[in-house]
């Protein structure tokens, strides 16, 4: 445990970070024997506007609130991957898998790749194909953002031209309203890159099959992040399949 004497020897911003570390450890049950003293010193470091909030949180032993308040003061944020447990492992056998496939058509950001994998796991995607040179699920940021779901959702780098015998649709501008789209029980959905959307060849494959689907927007910006759009689509698709009267394993199999 870091001592108050050591905290006082540091630069002010580092002092605040170290105090935050003490509060974080306290929220996990690891209480410093100098916690009261460190907190009183911490009050001298922060703006009076925050002091009452801090005192209330401390009196109620809401140490995690102190930690996050301190990050706010410092202008720092916590990402989901900061909660990633390197020692934990996911059990793929617990997954409920649907006949839903994704094709990531040139996703460039490892963060978006990881986020899409996390949604794919949550909503029963069987397999994800990635266009060659897309951001790899092996990338550390992709793995951490996915909360390790890159290790339980099957995936493969493959050109779309090598995938046959399955209906295809694409999430893209100018398509059918997603709220009225008739989701298939078995299909592959193409998700395009952040800047360019889907490629012309992918668009042609989709238009020759099930077509394009779009999410209507009501805001001034008129768009959402590609990973957010994928999550919306996957949730609706999973719900549609679950609402079917039964699941059938008949029909053509995916040829890879």
CA distance 39 to 19: 8
pLDDT class of 78 with cuts at 50, 70, 90: low
Which pair of tokens denotes residue 86? 């390197």
Specify the DSSP element, H or E, that contains 188.
Answer: strand 187-192
Q: Which residues contact 251 (CB under 8 A, 6 or more apart)?
A: 186
How far, in Å, are 53, 86, 122, 145, 147 from residue 80 at the CA level? 25, 13, 16, 7, 8
pLDDT for res 114: 95
For the residues 26-38, what does the mean pLDDT come to?
Answer: 93
Per the confidence metrics, is the pTM higher than 0.75?
no
How many Cβ atoms sit within 10 Å of the Cβ of residue 244? 10
Kindly report, residue by residue over 104-135, the tens digit of the pLDDT: 999 999 999 999 999 999 999 999 999 998 99
pLDDT for res 107: 94
CATH of segment(s) 92-243: 3.40.1280.10
Which pair of tokens denotes residue 132? 């060659």
How far, in Å, are 61, 181, 188, 230 from residue 178 at the CA level? 46, 5, 15, 12
pLDDT class of 86 with cuts at 50, 70, 90: low
pLDDT for res 245: 45
Domain chopping of the chain, boundaries: 4-78, 92-243
If you ran DSSP here, which 8-state letter would residue 56 be given?
A: H
Kindly report, residue by residue over 42-59, the tens digit of the pLDDT: 999 999 999 999 999 999
Q: Which residues pair with 130 in a beta bridge?
A: 104, 157
CA distance 143 to 15: 32
Percentage of residues of the chain with pLDDT beyond 90? 72
């Amino acid at each position: 445990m870091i001592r108050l004497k050591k905290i006082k020897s540091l630069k002010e911003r580092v002092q605040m970070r170290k105090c935050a570390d003490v509060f974080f450890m306290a929220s996990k049950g690891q209480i410093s024997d100098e916690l009261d003293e460190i907190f009183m010193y911490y009050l001298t470091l922060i703006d009076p506007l925050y002091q009452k909030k801090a005192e209330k949180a401390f009196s109620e032993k809401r140490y995690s609130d102190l930690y996050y308040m301190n990050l706010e003061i410092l202008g720092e944020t916590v990402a989901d991957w900061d909660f990633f447990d390197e020692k934990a492992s996911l059990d793929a056998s617990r997954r409920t898998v649907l006949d839903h496939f994704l094709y990531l058509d040139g996703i460039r950001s490892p963060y978006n790749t990881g986020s899409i994998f996390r949604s794919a796991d949550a909503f029963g995607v069987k397999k994800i194909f990635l266009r060659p040179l897309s951001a790899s699920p092996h990338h550390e940021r992709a793995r951490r953002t996915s909360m390790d779901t890159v290790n339980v959702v099957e995936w493969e780098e493959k050109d779309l031209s090598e995938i046959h015998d399955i209906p295809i649709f694409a999430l893209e501008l100018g398509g059918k309203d997603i709220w009225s789209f008739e989701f298939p029980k078995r299909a592959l959905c193409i998700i395009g890159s952040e800047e360019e959307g889907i490629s012309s060849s992918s668009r042609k494959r989709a238009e020759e099959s099930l077509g394009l689907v779009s999410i209507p927007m009501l805001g001034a910006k008129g768009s959402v992040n590609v990973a957010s759009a994928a999550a919306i689509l996957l949730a609706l698709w999973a719900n549609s399949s679950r609402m079917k009267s039964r699941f059938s394993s008949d029909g053509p199999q995916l040829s890879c």
